[in-house]
Amino acid sequence: MPDTNKRRQAARSVLDHDPAVLRARRVALGLTQVAVATAAGCVPSHLAELERGTRNPSPPLLKRIADALGCEVRDLMPARETVSIAS
């Protein structure tokens, strides 16, 4: 039987978002959690959990939130370091 916990954790890391960026974008636009949640089709308490980092969004929800904030999904993702490998 496959280890579903490992698969869930791997999926979660792919769907990770940056809670601070999410909140900062919303606040900078002068939007309330209610306004963004309504536009994204979720409840405000769910958006609050995303902003606190206690929950990760599904890919479709993250896209709807990005649309509500007028940005791309990648803008809500954590910054990733790029590594160059010299030949």
Q: 85 lies in a domain?
A: no
Residue 40: CATH number of its domain: 1.10.260.40
Q: Which are the contacts of 16, defined by CB distance < 8 A and separation ≥ 6? A: 56, 77, 78
> Would you state the pLDDT for residue 30?
98
Dist CA 36 CA 25 (whole Å):
11
Confirm whether 83 is domain-assigned.
Answer: no
What pLDDT, on the 0 to 100 scale, is given for residue 79?
80
Within a domain: residue 84?
A: no
Tally helices (H) and strands (E) across the chain.
5, 0
Q: What is the Cα gyration radius of the chain?
A: 15
The per-residue pLDDT for 11 is 47
Tokens 């993702």 sit on residue: 77
What are the mean pLDDT values of the chain's consecutive 10-residue runs (87 residues total)? 55 72 98 98 98 94 98 90 65
What is the C-alpha separation between 22 and 56, in angstroms, rounded? 12
In this predicted structure, what is the pLDDT of residue 28? 98
